[in-house]
Amino acid sequence: MTKIAVANGDGIGPEIMEAVLSVFKAAKVPLEYDFVDMGKWVFDKGYSNGMTPDAQQTIESLGILFKGPMETPKGKGVKSVNVTARKTWNTYANKRTFQTLHGVDTVFSKAGIPIDITIVRENIEDTYGGIEHMLTHDVALSRRFITRPGSIQVIKYAFEMAKKKGTKRITCGHKANIMKLTDGLFLDVFYEIAKEYPELKADDVIVDDLCMKLVSRPDLFDVVVLTNLQGDIVSDLCAGLVGGLGFAPSANIGDHICIFEAVHGTAPDIAGKNIANPTALLLSGIGMLRHLGLMEAAIMIENALLYTLESSVHTGDFGDRSIPSLSTTDFANAIIGNFGKEPAHNPKPYMPNQPATPTLFKLDDYPMLESVESQQERIVGVDLFIESNEQPSVIAEKSLKHTLNIFKLVTISNRGTQVWPTGSSFTNLVNQYACRFESIGDAPVTQVDIVELYKRLAQDFKICSTELLNKWGDKKAYSLAQGQ
């Protein structure tokens, strides 16, 4: 008997969780449940991360969390409990599978276009780091981190999952045409790892083109891996292709802890009425059973669910309106009544139970992820971000006084567009500029040199932020301004 942590969630969470666990009980799934305290009501008790210390300890000792939808209280200073959980436990891959479900009518099901797409979303980095600062009263900054080790983790998982699934194609969605360093790094890692899987067709597509293709020919795609924010948007888009978030399972996969959850909202307007649709949470639970190696139960429950949907059994949010809808409880009971039956479309073949996906527990230290630095690093300059409402020529005149005969002022940009030494008066400005100083002759400089430059420039400007200009070998590790 395997014990897992269960968090009911907020709003409709407790009632859909009860329905799913009743299906598991009827299927004699060999699980024990340790219910933990997480969600909005825990925030309200003063726990800023949305979970009690006992809940965190339980989840870390068991390694599996099955959770209902959770609400984050509105207001500044409070982080999403969902994002906090994923990041705290380094569940680096968010896997969402979107399939045509017969009995759930969509534009594509009516057109006879089958959908079977798996989105793998990087789950830890990107703008979801939530590292933000107000640089001036008009300018907010969000830092976007894409790391090589983090990209390797999620992309390696995506290829392994695609291989086990038996897919033929894996696609990287990206915006490397614009974000050449961040998305460019993610794309480079994708093709590095692709060399290890010659049996899979690996290709890439710019994310806006991907969205257009998904809503016109979703049947062309199989597995798609993306960075965090882009993956969040694309996965919700794919949910719309198969009927909505009520039919979208989600698994957050890490090396040590995994979270299986419904990603739809808490629907407080219908909470407690026993009319919510438990399908997404049940599909997430089926994915959890597979992860735990409980294949027999997973396949029996999934076939029963598919058979139930095919039979036009539905809750109030979908289905044939001429057929009365069922309550949450009755919908779960209908699935239980269909145990042993197979759907006419895409029945899941029998598979014996398998060993659970292994995890590693009892870490004593924070794991350090670091790749090998292949070429020597040099600092060759600095970007100093300043606050000013003056014209670029005035800023340049002041800045040129402070170059120490070590640096040269190369460019001044505003919102990423060059405004000095050349530019256009049609470029609208805000009160924050980036002044780029590079070393004369591309010679290495020290951080002490840069601190001295900072001190001198600070005589004339408020300096909001700094970024070193690094080089590895002859390769610049920083982007150019638009128009530079």
User: How far apart, in whole angstroms, are the C-alpha atoms of residue 295 and residue 287?
Assistant: 10
Q: Whose CA is closest to 129, among 142, 138, 115?
A: 142
Q: Is the pLDDT of residue 75 over 70?
A: no
Q: Is the pLDDT of residue 484 over 80?
A: yes
pTM of the model: 0.92
Tokens at 397, concatenated: 């005149």
Predicted confidence at residue 395, as pLDDT, reads 98
What are the φ/ψ torsions at residue 241 (nearest 5 degrees)?
-70, -25
Classify strands 249-253 and 407-414 as parallel, antiparallel or unpaired.
Answer: unpaired
- Give a three-class secondary structure readout of the chain: CEEEEEECCCCCHHHHHHHHHHHHHHCCCCEEEEECCECHHHHHCCCCCCECHHHHHHHHHHCEEEECCCCCCCCCCCCCHHHHHHHHCCCCEEEEEEECCCCCCCHHHHCCCCCEEEEEEECCCEHHHCCEEECCCCCEEECCECCHHHHHHHHHHHHHHHHHHCCCEEEEEECCCCCCCHHHHHHHHHHHHHCCCCCCEEEEEEHHHHHHHHHHCHHHCCEEEECHHHHHHHHHHHHHHHCCHHHCEEEEECCCCEEEEECCCCCCCCCCCCCCCCHHHHHHHHHHHHHCCCHHHHHHHHHHHHHHHHCCCCCCCCCCCCCCCCCHHHHHHHHHHCCCCCCCCCCCCCCCCCCCCCCCCCCCCCCCCCCCCCCCEEEEEEEEEEECCCCHHHHHHHHHHHCCCCEEEEEEEECCEEEECCCCCCCCCCCEEEEEEEEHHHCCCCHHHHHHHHHHHCCCCEEEEEEEEEEECCEECCCCCECC
pLDDT confidence bin for 73, thresholds 50/70/90: confident
Task: Set out the domains of the chain in order of their start, with CATH numbers.
Answer: 1-90+258-279+297-371 (3.40.718.10), 105-242 (3.40.718.10), 377-476 (3.30.70.1570)
Model confidence over 76-98: pLDDT tens digits?
566 788 888 998 999 999 999 99
Backbone dihedral region for residue 473 (phi beyond 0: left; psi -120 to 50: alpha; all else: beta): left
Tell me which residue of 82, 60, 87, 86 sits closest to 4, measured CA to CA: 60
pLDDT at 365: 86
- What residues have CB less than 8 Å from 292, skipping those under 6 apart? 2, 31, 64, 356, 357
- Which residue, among 458, 455, 470, has the nearest Cα to 381 in the 3D structure? 470
The tens digit of pLDDT for each residue in 151-192 reads 999 999 999 999 998 999 999 999 999 999 999 999 999 999
The one-letter amino acid code at 268 reads P
Choose among 240, 255, 184: nearest CA to 479: 184
The pLDDT value recorded for residue 463 is 97
Contact 382, 461 (CB under 8 A): no
- pLDDT (0 to 100) of residue 458: 97
Contacts of 365 (CB under 8 A, 6+ apart): none
pLDDT in tens, 1-45: 899 999 999 999 999 999 999 999 999 999 999 999 999 888 888
Give the separation between CA 22 and CA 336, rounded to whole angstroms.
9
Contact 445, 379 (CB under 8 A): yes
Residue at 261: amino acid letter: E
CB atoms within 10 A of CB 427: 15
Angle at 236 between CA 334 and CA 213, to 5 degrees: 115
pLDDT, one tens digit per residue, over 255-290 is: 999 999 998 999 999 999 999 999 999 999 999 999
Peptide bond into 367 cis (omega under 30): no
Predicted pLDDT of residue 177? 96
pLDDT greater than 80 at residue 408 = yes
pLDDT greater than 90 at residue 48: no
- Amino acid identity of residue 336, one-letter, is I
Compute the mean pLDDT over every residue in the chain, rounded to the nearest whole number: 94
Query: What radius of gyration, in Å, describes the C-alpha atoms of the chain?
Result: 26
Q: Which two tokens stand for residue 127?
A: 């703008």
Identify the CA nearest to 151 among candidates 200, 184, 129.
184
| Local confidence band at 72 (pLDDT 50, 70, 90 cut-offs) | confident
Strand partners, 262: 249
Of 169, 68, 71, nearest in space to 116 by CA:
169
* pLDDT at residue 360 in the model: 60
| Interacting residues of 451 by C-beta distance below 8 A, sequence separation 6+ | none
Cα gap 314→296, rounded to integer Å: 25
pLDDT of residue 77: 62
- Output the pLDDT for position 374: 76
pLDDT over 80 (residue 362): no
Of 317-321, 380-384, 441-445, where does the model show the most confidence? Answer: 380-384
pLDDT value at residue 356:
84
Per-residue pLDDT at 264:
94
Say how many CA atoms lie within 13 Å of 240 toward its Cβ. 10
